[in-house]
Homo-oligomer: A and B are copies of this chain.
Amino acid sequence: MSFIPLPPGSSLGMATERSDAARNRERLLAAARELIDECGAEGLTMNQLAERAGVGKGTVFRRFGSRAGLMLNLLTESEADFQARFMFGPPPLGPGAPAAERLTAFGTERISYVLEFGDLLLAAEASPHHRLDVPAAVLAQRHLQMLLEAEGIQEETWLLAGALAATLDPERLLHAVRVHKVAPERLQGSWRQLVARLVRN
């Protein structure tokens, strides 16, 4: 008799998932991409998705928690990519350039990223318990904070970084581009200006 009933997966704590679960996740992700191709991200419904993937609705929600969770999942790859670029990639976005230039690069690159994945990002933001606590957002804000500190700013760098992050909010950027027909280059220009004015000594 084992007092601690060992988890059934690997011998150390079940990091694996059951094979049917894995299969269903693949199906769901594939179906989701199909549907988004066909109807756009905002047109995807969870019922549709379940049906298309040939699974029950409960399965969809167990896997992803919510609609926003699904969208987040679809974004993980590109988000990880972006993170890797600003943390380990070549300058001026990655380490090696002066902090001010990295700040500028961060914004312009982020703007491009947001415009590329717009609908998905929008759909992912409808998170029930807070889009601002999503790991990628926290990481980005800490990165901004670090760059501000590297530029010699000392007070309230966390909040200042939050202010900068707010400027890059997908909803706002997409609103400017789609409703007000602002060219992406102008957004990037105004970011450059904002950063330049903030960090000049």
Which residues on A are within 8 Å of B, measured CB to CB? 130, 132-133, 155-156, 159-160, 162-163, 166-167, 169, 171-172, 175-176, 179, 182, 186-187, 189-191, 193-194, 197-199
The SS class assigned to the A binding surface is helix
Assembly CA distance A156 to B167 (angstroms): 14
Given contacts A132-B175, A156-B189, 9 further A-B contacts (CB under 8 A): A155-B189, A155-B193, A160-B190, A162-B176, A163-B167, A166-B166, A166-B172, A197-B197, A197-B198
What are the residues of chain B within 8 A of A189 when measuring CB–CB?
155-156
Who on chain B is nearest to A172 by CB? B166
CA distance A163 to B190 in the complex (A): 9
B-chain residues with CB within 8 Å of residue A176 when the two chains form the complex? 159, 162
| Complex: A127 Cα to B171 Cα, angstroms | 12
* A172 neighbours in B (Cβ, 8 Å): 132, 162, 166
